[in-house]
Structure 1
Amino acid sequence: MKHLIVFPNAVRSLLALGVIAMLQLSVATTAQAIEIQQVKSPGGITAWLVEDHSIPLMSMRFAFKGGWANEPEEKQGATHFLAGMLDEGAGALNSKQYQTRQQQLAMKLSFRARADHFYGSFQALTKHRDESAALLADALTVPRFDDVPFQRIRNQILLNIKSNSQDPERVASKSWLKLMFAGHPYGRARRGTAENLAALTPADLRSLTKNLFAKQGLKIAVVGDINADELGKLLDRVFGKLPAEGNITKLAEAKVMAKPTVQIIDRNIPQSVIQFGHAGLKRDHPDFVPAYVLNFILGGGGFGSRLTEEIREKRGLTYSVYSYLSPYDHGALFVGGASTQNARAGETVKIIRQELERMAKEGPTAKELADAKTYMTGSYALRFDTSKKIAGQLLAIQTDNLGVEYVEKRNELINAVTLEDLKRLAKKLLKPGELVMTIVGKPEGVDAKEAKGG
């Protein structure tokens, strides 16, 4: 099955809005139309494919169902650890041999663990595609976990944990998530704790690969110099030996904290780092697209957003202030952040609350909605201007279960949002009375009666 997707007048609309001064013609040309093929291998493995034979290169993105939130509590950090170990030797090749061979083949391979999925990224030259694919297959099916690289990667993660404990932004984010998802795996640290990490063994990671890497729930996107028949054979070589089903822990729905709270974490630093938010909408919620537009106007649109205008431009309280929607498979958040001088923390918090209250009460203006639509629909094509970006977008659409037609329908969904939709949704989504804040620093002017923690 094939789907031809066209991006009409995308760059022209951005230029009309005045947000892009210069743009190379190659970007516009590359993103004008893509044809998505749904490929099924002889062994029954499916993938989405966009052929591009202009460069002898193939990019693949894939995702297994299950992430760091699915690991047992006593094995926290194992999934993140695994992501760092899979290119440290596999099959007959030890770590040095494996990475040397990657360099010789000009092959790129990386992995990352998220809350609900485990992601892989693979890139290979056409002339080395088969041998590169064999290395990827070995990484997934016969990783070595030799002691020397195992200890080296563990020490690197331990150093990251220690470093992050001194980073105000990471401290704020980690502490805030722990509050929001109290008692749920989403509230854990993805790297785990030093204690958990020290207890992990190669056998733990080997067991995790057997439980996590399975055909069921596997999503794959491929872009580049390969046709459907060639891809079908490659899919079976890479993923064909995996078990049909995995064995990951099922997650319960998360209960998001709804009690207004200000958590102050004292640090002797000149600025206060603020993380704020409340419950959001999951990706499959019928109001998600209107919520996405609403958030763009409120805090997701950079210099054009209300939070930036009121807090940075008018008052100079911060260099950066933002908000975004953060959907998980079993929960959802509306998240925002800013940093400011300690002496102006109270004022910044006050304006954040006021802007959320104003948006909830009044909604956006017709001009704000029109400008948001112009930018959001015009800039969408820029997500498809490289093979890597296309593969990433197609994978995200699959993991979000949006359907292959979403690329074509997405701008129509944005344009269909009305001012009435946003005013209705603003009252429903934005909950200033349930705002939870974590502030790291020595904030002045924050109501001490609200402070929880320290």
Structure 2
Amino acid sequence: MNAITDIRPATSPTTAKALTSPGGVEAWHVESDVVPLIAVAFTFEGGSTQDPADKPGVAQMLARLLDEGAGEYNSDAFQERLAARAIELSFNAGNDAIGGSLKTLVKHADEAFELLRLALAEPRFDQDAIERVRAQTIAGLRYQQNDPGVMATRCFFEEGFAGHAYARPTSGTIESVATITRDDLVAMHRALIARGRVKIAVVGAIDAERLSVLLDKAFGILPEAGSLKPVEPVLLQNLGTRHVVDLDVPQSVIRFGMPGISWRDPGFIPAYVLNHILGGGAFTSRLFQEVREKRGLAYSVGTSLVSYRAAAVTWGYTATKNERVVEALDVIAGEMMRLKVEGPSADELQKAKDYLIGSYALGFDTSTKIAHTLVQIAFEGLGIDYIARRNDLVAAVTLDDIGYAAERIFADGKMLTVIAGRPTGL
């Protein structure tokens, strides 16, 4: 398939406008005529949390099959139509949502949105396509059994959310994927792909009038939203415990975590700045300096904030020699508590804010990035003006705000820790 060049629109993403089509389809729209390109991102509420408890992997498999034949076109014919117009269409599934993206030249917009309509409304789920995707998925899962990073992550979620939907692997297991039927996929499609639960963002050389017609064409035909299984709020469990996934590797992979703060929480921005200081700032973060630069314990170490619909986690990662795992964990825990007790310096806080403000625009250098950021903001319910407000929110963070965020996240210093490897001295 020929790639479509995707460059930054001249129009700022802060000028996104809310649009409602004649058929009632809502979207956020950024019009830009820099290149004859349209980028679309869309997200439907409900992802792998809607999988049957005994059959994880259905939503993920659904996402992989939506473009494997639709309407009158089998998989090969559908992919040929995409390739003939250099249309890029993809789907993905996560814990809380199933979504995708479309990228096309303006002159092929009618064809692109028609193929999107077919994929969303009339997927075929042909048995040969199901078996091919099943085989690919199972092969990937077998390979991952020897990947310490994957196995540590899987164990972390199993322990951290035991008994909850977030404990189940999004891609399923070898055993569960083997049992997924066409009926399972049809039922999941009926539950998730509904117009009442979709968020849409469109960026590119298309005016509101024409876009409205195309949105009605692709999304207007979808059924109204039915009910989803409720996902109960959950806190990270098993704090203060360490778990080992036994793998014969010379270097252990470590995953660690503690409470987080949701993107929808008023305290998120201070927590975001705090995380940058702790482990999100790449070469400047405290963990990078203490773990790698001063002690040479690891090549990389970092943290990030993970925000789900029903949970929030501060998530960390590193990898070190088996015999240095305990030392690395002690340094990480010690630096967290030092940051909680002493806080950052005023200069450290200002440098973190300057970086986060100055680098924000780098996330909007392509139409596709803008569309995906807008649709995520819409999905989180943060408001169409969030991009315009965000830097002011960062600039307003004080040392007191950082202290409050540290109290919420670091609490008593207990972490859930998973080590994949054969660490010594635990």
Q: Same fold (TM over 0.5)?
A: yes
Q: What's 2:353 paired with?
A: 373
Q: What's 1:7 paired with?
A: none
Q: What's 1:237 paired with?
A: 217
Shift of 1:30: 4.4
Select the residue among 384, 387, 411 that pairs with 1:407.
387
Q: What's 2:362 paired with?
A: 382
Change (3 A) 1:51 1:167: same
Paired residue type of 2:155: S
Select the residue among 334, 343, 362 that pairs with 1:363.
343
Select the residue among 69, 72, 76 that pairs with 1:89.
69
Paired residue type of 1:413: L
Shift of 1:312: 0.4
Shift of 1:82: 0.8
1:438 and 2:418 are equivalent in the alignment: yes
Please identify, of 288-297 and 203-212, the stretch whose mean Cα deviation from structure 2 is larger: 203-212
Question: What do residues 410-450 of structure 1 show as CA deviations (whole Å, max 9, x unaligned)?
Answer: 0000000001211232123213532110011111222xxxx
Please identify, of 423-432 and 119-128, the stretch whose mean Cα deviation from structure 2 is larger: 423-432
Q: What's 2:288 paired with?
A: 308
Percent sequence identity is 42
Q: Which runs of 5+ in 1 are unaligned?
A: 1-25, 447-454
Select the residue among 84, 106, 112 that pairs with 1:126.
106
**TM-score normalised by length of structure 2:** 0.96
Q: What's 1:105 paired with?
A: 85
Select the residue among 285, 297, 308 that pairs with 1:317.
297
Shift of 1:255: 3.4
Equivalent residues of 1:211, 1:248 under 8 A apart: yes
Tell me the SS of whatever aligns to 1:216.
helix
Paired residue type of 2:284: G
Shift of 1:31: 7.4
Alpha-carbon distance in 2 for matches of 1:178, 1:358 = 29
Shift of 1:156: 0.4
- What pairs with 1:22-171 in structure 2 (closer than 5 Å)? 30=10, 34-171=14-151
Shift of 1:27: 8.5
Equivalent residues of 2:41, 2:101 under 8 A apart: yes
Paired residue type of 1:140: L
Select the residue among 274, 296, 312 that pairs with 1:332.
312
Shift of 1:172: 0.4
Equivalent residues of 2:48, 2:170 under 8 A apart: yes
Shift of 1:329: 0.6
Shift of 1:123: 0.8
Change (3 A) 1:33 1:148: closer
Equivalent residues of 1:180, 1:278 under 8 A apart: no
Q: What's 1:252 paired with?
A: 232
1:207 and 2:187 are equivalent in the alignment: yes
Shift of 1:28: 9.1
Tell me the SS of whatever aligns to 2:320.
strand
Equivalent residues of 1:137, 1:238 under 8 A apart: yes
Alpha-carbon distance in 2 for matches of 1:34, 1:258 = 41
Q: What's 2:397 paired with?
A: 417
Alpha-carbon distance in 1 for matches of 2:22, 2:144 = 46
Alpha-carbon distance in 2 for matches of 1:351, 1:75 = 40
Paired residue type of 2:50: N
Shift of 1:161: 0.8
Please identify, of 250-259 and 79-88, the stretch whose mean Cα deviation from structure 2 is larger: 250-259
Equivalent residues of 2:10, 2:34 under 8 A apart: no
Equivalent residues of 1:58, 1:222 under 8 A apart: yes
Tell me the SS of whatever aligns to 1:275.
strand
Alpha-carbon distance in 2 for matches of 1:30, 1:54 = 6
Shift of 1:165: 1.3
Q: What's 2:331 paired with?
A: 351
Q: What's 1:16 paired with?
A: none
Shift of 1:393: 1.0
Tell me the SS of whatever aligns to 1:74.
coil
Paired residue type of 1:236: D
Equivalent residues of 1:280, 1:326 under 8 A apart: yes
Q: What's 1:285 paired with?
A: 265
Change (3 A) 1:337 1:145: same
Runs of 4+ in 1 over 3 A off after TM superposition: 26-34
Change (3 A) 1:31 1:366: farther
Alpha-carbon distance in 1 for matches of 2:13, 2:95 = 33
Shift of 1:112: 0.5
Question: What do residues 171-194 of structure 1 show as CA deviations (whole Å, max 9, x unaligned)?
Answer: 001101111111000011011112
Please identify, of 250-259 and 296-305, the stretch whose mean Cα deviation from structure 2 is larger: 250-259
Select the residue among 387, 393, 398 that pairs with 2:373.
393
Question: What do residues 19-66 of structure 1 show as CA deviations (whole Å, max 9, x unaligned)?
Answer: xxxxxxx98994766521111000111100001112111000000010
Tell me the SS of whatever aligns to 1:73.
coil
Equivalent residues of 2:8, 2:364 under 8 A apart: no
Shift of 1:116: 0.6
Tell me the SS of whatever aligns to 1:151.
helix
Q: Which runs of 5+ in 2 are unaligned?
A: 1-5
Question: What do residues 60-86 of structure 1 show as CA deviations (whole Å, max 9, x unaligned)?
Answer: 000001001122213310000011111
Paired residue type of 2:343: G
Question: What do residues 77-115 of structure 1 show as CA deviations (whole Å, max 9, x unaligned)?
Answer: 000001111111000101100001100011000000011
Change (3 A) 1:267 1:377: same
The number of residues matched between the two structures is 421
Please identify, of 135-144 and 248-257, the stretch whose mean Cα deviation from structure 2 is larger: 248-257
